[in-house]
Amino acid sequence: MHLPQTKMNRDAIVKKVRNNPNQMTELMDCFFSDDYRLCQNASWPMTIIGEKKPKLILPYVEEMLGVLRRPVHNSVKRNVIRLLQVIDIPEEYDGIVYELCFNYINDTKEMTAVRTFSITVLCNIVMKYPELKGEVISLIELHRANSSAAFKARVRKELKRLE
């Protein structure tokens, strides 16, 4: 039986893990489940926890990237990419994350939020590897004109940061 996905349930899970960080393993077991609904429901509190306490999420980055390589619900993809914007991605995963986000931006059928969050993730990686700057700028400029207002706003913001 699954709990409905509500802000109240999300906050209860976040509080439970915050009060007992050992509960993070249980939450992540739900996130890595083959049950798509369980994975989807775990992705929201996982993101909130990861944003507030990145050290709790870092041991799971490799497995999270594995989740993105299989068909997943859009909310799962959105929450993982949203989280990748704000954590310090371990260096050994930069290449995988770069490739995933590059492909999300290039896929015009991808959800706007995933494409928009991917811009920030790529720009964060460029801060570590400035030699990628030209490639990332070319990519986001290529898609800027025919994209949503949110995408265009993120492009403006990130281009300023890259200058």
- 141 plus 123 within the same structural domain: yes
Distance (Å, rounded) from C-alpha 71 to C-alpha 105?
17
**pTM, whole model, 2 decimals?**
0.90
Distance (Å, rounded) from C-alpha 121 to C-alpha 99?
11
* Mean pLDDT to the nearest integer, 60-89: 92
Residue (of 100, 163, 92) closest to 127 by Cα position:
163
pLDDT for the residue numbered 36: 82
pLDDT in tens, 42-58: 888 999 999 998 999 99
- 68 plus 25 within the same structural domain: yes
- 125 plus 159 within the same structural domain: yes
Of 88, 112, 141, the residue at which a domain comes to its end is: 88
- 53 plus 126 within the same structural domain: no
Of 38, 65, 88, the residue at which a domain comes to its end is: 88
DSSP string, 72-135: --HHHHHHHHHHHHHS---GGGHHHHHHHHHHHHH-TTS-HHHHHHHHHHHHHHHHH-GGGHHH
% of the chain beyond a pLDDT of 90: 66
Number of independent structural domains in the chain: 2
Q: Which residues contact 24 (CB under 8 A, 6 or more apart)?
A: 17, 49, 56, 57
Domain ranges, residue 113? 90-163
pLDDT for the residue numbered 25: 93
